[in-house]
Structure 1
Amino acid sequence: MMSESTVTHAIRRPFSEELWDAIVPTYKAILDHPFITGLVDGTLPRDAFRHFVVQDSHYLRDYARALALCAAKAPTEDDVRAFASDAVGAIAAEQDMHSAFMADLGGSAEQAATAPVGPTTQAYTSYLLATVYGGSFLDGLAAVLPCYWIYARVGEELLERSSPDPLYRRWIAAYGDEAFQSVVRRVVALADRAGEEATDGQRAGARDHFVTTSRYEWMFWDAAWRREAWPV
């Protein structure tokens, strides 16, 4: 005979549904943000996009470290290989795509590397690394997941709208691309698998990390829109 706790565990919905439901207002705010709408209609100032590219270069270096730590804690050999590959991919994106964008913006990857790390970038990556270092695998996975999942959803949404600006169309295409979408589906499926084995309390803690880093995603685009700098 199944105990009440076993029945409750058995009928829980997929963890990914629980996670996404928790950030619906944040995701709507992202789609409505003038940085995102400016990508679509071509009105986003080049200075704002340059700020984003520079800060994203800084962000991805620490994000790669966070993914490598997820690989070290991953439950299966396949998961270890996948996260290790994603960490390499994050570095490759920083070196290739961002170098190309900087060249189009009249700069270079070297200039981006020497630009100051902004307040939001510093806060976001510090939170990510602290969570992945100090938390469980599920905590770390939940913390890194918004960067995968929100970008995939935004890319998918914007791909349907496109942009009159060829530079912004390239950015949209990179995240709306099926190759990136398939990677994200794999990580979301892993979140469901890991969440299924977790207690309700563990899921709640991981969900809090997911919500926090989703908010940081909004803040990252907002920082680029404002060309955020250290106030003192």
Structure 2
Amino acid sequence: MSRFRDELWQVVAGVYDQILAHPFLTGLTDGSLPREAFRHYVVQEAHFLPDYARAQAACAARAPEPAAVQRFAADAATTLEVEHSLVVELLAAFGLEETDARKLPAGPTTVGYTSYLVRTCSLGTFPEALGAIVPCYWIYAKVGERLLASSSPDPLYAWWIETYGGQGYQETVAAVLDLLDGLALSAEERARLLERALTTARYEWLFWDSAWRQESWPCG
């Protein structure tokens, strides 16, 4: 029996393949990623994660069923408790306090990505919000699971890989995908959800690419 998650994955699979092949991620696994690129990534995560949690909370507010409200409200809290805590510890490895990191500018991709997530989850329908937010969960879980098989000779990179490839995060994502499969959606709602999912998947690629390039604003 076909599941909606399978249809969604067909839409984003090509982007995911390009993400896996990106030198940022291949450098994570073989240890060759320049520390400056990873530092840039972590600083941008310090900007990204609070808005990601806001998007999750907005998705909860849009949810029609109590189970979905509970799911995304709990996940918003977990984002700040677990993922954000990891970022704080990774920043410390670079000698940075979170307050200092947040004084550094959020890059163009980070601003665009967070704005898209918060706007879609706050102003869109629940299917649109779900489409925007599910690839954030699923691509990180897929990347973490894939990279965990080889991990990394660099302990800092291995630590990041273990967080997203570990059982706890995988179970969280599985619960979201079960929720997705249980939705009764019209053809129009499914199409709008899938359109949002593809945009988010592309932003995922852009986020890693911006860290690889150590992106900054071109003017001002």
What TM-score, normalized to structure 1? 0.91
What is the deviation of 1:75? 2.5
Change (3 A) 1:21 1:201: same
TM-superposition CA deviations, 1:36-62 (whole Å, max 9, x none): 000000000111001111111111111
Partner of 2:26: 37
Partner of 2:172: 183
Is the contact between residue 138 and residue 191 of structure 1 (CA under 8 Å) also seen in structure 2?
no
What is the deviation of 1:23? 1.2
Is the contact between residue 127 and residue 192 of structure 2 (CA under 8 Å) also seen in structure 1?
no
Question: 1:198 is matched with which residue: 185, 193, 208?
Answer: 185
Equivalent residues in 2 for 1:97-116 (5 A)?
97-116=86-105
Bigger CA radius of gyration: 1
Is the contact between residue 46 and residue 105 of structure 1 (CA under 8 Å) also seen in structure 2?
no
Partner of 1:165: 154
4+ long deviations beyond 3 Å: none
Is the contact between residue 58 and residue 113 of structure 1 (CA under 8 Å) also seen in structure 2?
yes
Q: For residues 155 and 74 of structure 1, what CA distance do their matches in structure 2 show?
A: 28
Partner of 2:205: 218
* Superposed CA RMSD: 1.1
Equivalent residues in 2 for 1:69-88 (5 A)?
69-88=58-77
Question: 1:23 is matched with which residue: 12, 34, 38?
Answer: 12
State the aligned residue count: 219
Which segment drifts farther, 198-207 or 104-113? 104-113
Q: For residues 94 and 153 of structure 1, what CA distance do their matches in structure 2 show?
A: 16
Q: For residues 62 and 198 of structure 2, what CA distance do their matches in structure 1 show?
A: 21
SS in 2 for 1:23: helix
What TM-score, normalized to structure 2? 0.96
Is the contact between residue 142 and residue 191 of structure 1 (CA under 8 Å) also seen in structure 2?
no
SS in 2 for 1:107: coil
Is the contact between residue 57 and residue 94 of structure 1 (CA under 8 Å) also seen in structure 2?
no
SS in 2 for 1:161: coil
What is the deviation of 1:191? 1.1
SS in 2 for 1:157: helix
TM-superposition CA deviations, 1:133-184 (whole Å, max 9, x none): 2211111011011110000000000000110000000000000110100000
Partner of 2:46: 57
What is the deviation of 1:94? 5.2
Q: For residues 82 and 51 of structure 1, what CA distance do their matches in structure 2 show?
A: 31
Question: 1:207 is matched with which residue: 191, 194, 212?
Answer: 194
What one-letter code is carried by the residue in structure 2 that aligns with 1:177? G
Partner of 1:230: 217
What is the deviation of 1:79? 1.8
1:143 is the counterpart of 2:143:
no
Partner of 1:153: 142
Identical-pair percentage: 49
Change (3 A) 1:17 1:94: closer
Is the contact between residue 61 and residue 94 of structure 1 (CA under 8 Å) also seen in structure 2?
no
What is the deviation of 1:95? 4.1
Unpaired runs of 5+ residues, structure 1, are: 1-10
